């Protein structure tokens, strides 16, 4: 695009430098942990004084960290598998029936994004305490599914934007029932958005800290919960290796979601 305001060269350069500096501020602190994690010292520095895999070995050889990783992966996969169909079904119903009531339901389903996690966390903790569901994997999965629904809803609705429902009617008039009309005609066309939603559901669960802090514990502690507790007590360098692995995972999943939903970013 041409410069909207034909301002001076100097101010353009200043703007460019400032913009680039902000980009560095955004990206650098996010990824700098990766090279630092290959340090062989307890004290993390950049660049590392000597390179080693010490903290990765520490992580992979620790039964506690491995257990937490398995719990987190289990929870994230279950969350993704449940939240995706639930969210897609809701998005479809909201898209097919626009109207005032729909706006209200939509706002209600978006609530998990608006309520501060600390409030959701203690609310769920209170309810689970009643039913003895604290520290259970199923309890964490249900809570994470609730938190992930808005992500699936947003991506699916944005995929449906501008979609012509007449295509489904045409399929129905040719003798296909509603469900297969959706699965065979609509779903393939919004596949990318659904995949993006599923990926975001997965990553939102994998990264979730605050709710897990309250409702998971002991052998069902999730990876972020263990990391948080470890960080609160002392800065354990093992966290650098775990963080690096999480950063790579998030980046891979984020980029995959962008590619899946094509021109749509988030």
Partner 1 sequence: MRRHLNARFLLLTPAFLFVGGLLLLPLAWMLVLSFVDAGRFSLVHYARMLSDPSYAKSFWLTFQIAGTVTLAAILLGYPLCYWMLRLSVVWQRIVMICVLIPFWTSLLVRTYAWLVLLQRRGLVNTTLQDLGVLNEPVQLMYNVTGTTIGMTHILLPFLVLPLFAAMQRIDKDVLRAAAALGASPIFAFWRVFFPLSLPGLGAGAMLVFVLSIGYYVTPQLLGGGTTVMIGQIIQRNVELFSAWGAASAVSVVLFAIVLLLFYGMNRLVSLDRVFGGSN
Residues in region 10-49 near partner 1 by CB under 8 A: 12, 15-16, 18-19, 22-23, 25-27, 29-33, 36, 43-46
Is 258 among the residues that bind partner 1 (CB under 8 A)? yes
Could you say which residues in the range 149-178 bind partner 1, by CB under 8 A? Answer: 149-150, 153-154, 157-158, 161, 178
Q: How far is the CB of 121 from partner 1 (least distance, A)?
A: 8
Binding mask 216-235 vs partner 1 (x if CB under 8 A, - otherwise)?
A: --------x--xx--xx--x
How far is residue 237 CA from its own chain's centroid?
A: 25
| Distance between CA atoms of residues 23 and 12, nearest Å | 16
Could you say which residues in the range 72-111 bind partner 1, by CB under 8 A? Answer: 86-87, 89-90, 92-94, 96-97, 105-111
CB nearer to partner 1: pick between 100 and 232: 232
Which range binds partner 1 by CB under 8 A, 52-60, 147-155, 168-176, 184-192? Answer: 147-155
């Amino acid at each position: 695009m041409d410069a909207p305001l034909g301002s001076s060269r100097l101010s353009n350069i200043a703007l460019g430098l400032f913009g680039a500096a902000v980009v560095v501020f955004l990206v650098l602190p996010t990824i700098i942990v990766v090279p630092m994690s290959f340090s062989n010292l307890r004290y993390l520095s950049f660049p590392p004084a000597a390179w080693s895999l010490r903290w990765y070995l520490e992580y992979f050889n620790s039964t506690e960290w491995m257990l937490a990783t398995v719990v987190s992966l289990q929870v994230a996969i279950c969350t993704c598998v449940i939240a995706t169909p639930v969210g897609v079904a809701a998005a479809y119903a909201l898209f097919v029936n626009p109207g005032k009531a729909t706006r209200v339901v939509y706002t209600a389903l978006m609530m998990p994004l608006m309520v501060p996690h600390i409030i959701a966390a203690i609310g769920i903790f209170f309810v689970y305490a009643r039913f003895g569901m604290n520290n259970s994997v199923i309890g964490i999965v249900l809570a994470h599914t609730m938190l992930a629904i808005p992500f699936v809803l947003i991506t699916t609705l944005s995929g449906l934007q501008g979609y012509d429902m007449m295509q489904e009617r045409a399929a129905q008039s040719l003798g296909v029932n509603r469900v297969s009309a959706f699965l065979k005609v609509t779903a393939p066309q919004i596949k990318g958005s659904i995949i993006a939603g599923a990926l975001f559901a997965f990553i939102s669960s994998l990264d979730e800290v605050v709710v897990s802090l309250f409702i998971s514990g002991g052998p069902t502690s999730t990876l972020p919960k263990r990391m948080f507790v470890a960080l609160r007590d002392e800065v354990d360098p093992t966290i650098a290796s775990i963080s690096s692995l999480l950063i790579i995972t998030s980046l891979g999943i984020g980029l995959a979601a962008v590619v899946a939903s094509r021109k749509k970013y988030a």
